Chains A and B, each alone.
Chain A
Amino acid sequence: MNIFRLIGDLSHLFAILILLLKIWKTRSCAGISGRSQILFALVFATRYLDLFTHFISLYNTLMKIFYLCSSFGTIYLMYVKFKATYDRNHDTFRVEFLLIPVAILSLIFNHEFDVLEILWTFSIYLESVAILPQLFMVSKTGEAESITSHYLFALGAYRGLYILNWIYRYYTEGFFDLIAVIAGIVQTVLYCDFFYLYITKVLKGKRLT
């Protein structure tokens, strides 16, 4: 554990919490892509199967449980409790265009041809593109509430911080995971355009349009 990784994890935690709080407080999930949320839940469900096979640390276990519960909680709020506020007409990104290539890639490029390992690889690749339905929705409606922007910023910052963590781990431990690093870079790059708008607009109090 290093400072980049810790702040990255906390940023991820913060992103999930502000999304849940936004939906809960406003009693609405307008502007949020349910498809991205389903992809994130799938990411956690396929990556954290190791909860059943081996223990890493209490921190690791608790964070995994939190991410799993909160992502399924978000889906429940969007598709059940506040279903009427879900903006489904604008949430039209075709997720099969992500799922199929990601599934094929994970079968070809993995560390080991083993069920758990392939599912872990699938989750890493899927996470890198899971935000696309959300970004597509923002571009389609042409705007995002500032709370949605804060959510996206915290979520993007998390993987960016993980890149710093990998650089640090490479020099201190010789740790290098090519799959995670490439996917992490792709994931961070997808947020770059959004980061630019966030810094130039949202932080100056303007709406993201």
Chain B
Amino acid sequence: KENDLDHDEL
């Protein structure tokens, strides 16, 4: 779940 919200885009 945490990873899903790692917004890696700008």
The minimal Cβ–Cβ distance linking B7 to chain A, given in whole angstroms, is 6
> Do B9 and A162 touch across chains, with their CB atoms under 8 A apart?
yes
A-B contact count (CB 8 A): 22
Question: What's the minimum C-beta distance from A68 to chain B, rounded to whole angstroms?
Answer: 11
A120–B10 Cα distance when bound, in Å, is: 11
Chain B residues with a Cβ under 8 A of chain A: 4-10
A180 and B10 within 8 A (CB): no
What 19 additional pairs, Cβ within 8 angstroms, besides A54-B6, A57-B8, A162-B9? Answer: A5-B9, A9-B10, A12-B10, A47-B7, A50-B7, A56-B6, A56-B8, A60-B8, A60-B10, A63-B10, A64-B10, A67-B10, A111-B4, A111-B5, A112-B5, A117-B5, A120-B7, A165-B9, A180-B9
21 sample A-B contacts, Cβ–Cβ < 8 Å, listed by A number? A5-B9, A9-B10, A12-B10, A47-B7, A50-B7, A54-B6, A56-B6, A56-B8, A57-B8, A60-B10, A63-B10, A64-B10, A67-B10, A111-B4, A111-B5, A112-B5, A117-B5, A120-B7, A162-B9, A165-B9, A180-B9
Please, how many angstroms separate the alpha-carbon atoms of A162 and B9 in the complex? 9
Which positions 4-25 of chain A face chain B at CB distance < 8 Å? 5, 9, 12
Report the bound CA distance from A56 to B3 in whole Å. Answer: 11
Chain B residues, CB < 8 A from A12: 10
- Hey, which chain A residues are within 8 Å of B8, CB to CB? 56-57, 60
Question: Closest Cβ of chain B: how far from A96's Cβ, in Å?
Answer: 27
- Nearest chain A CB to B1's CB is how many angstroms away? 8
Residues of A within 8 A of B6 (CB): 54, 56
Which A-chain residue is minimally distant from B7 (CB atoms)?
A: A120
Give Cα A179–Cα B6 distance, bound, in whole angstroms. 14
Using Cβ atoms and an 8 Å threshold, which residues of chain B touch A47? 7
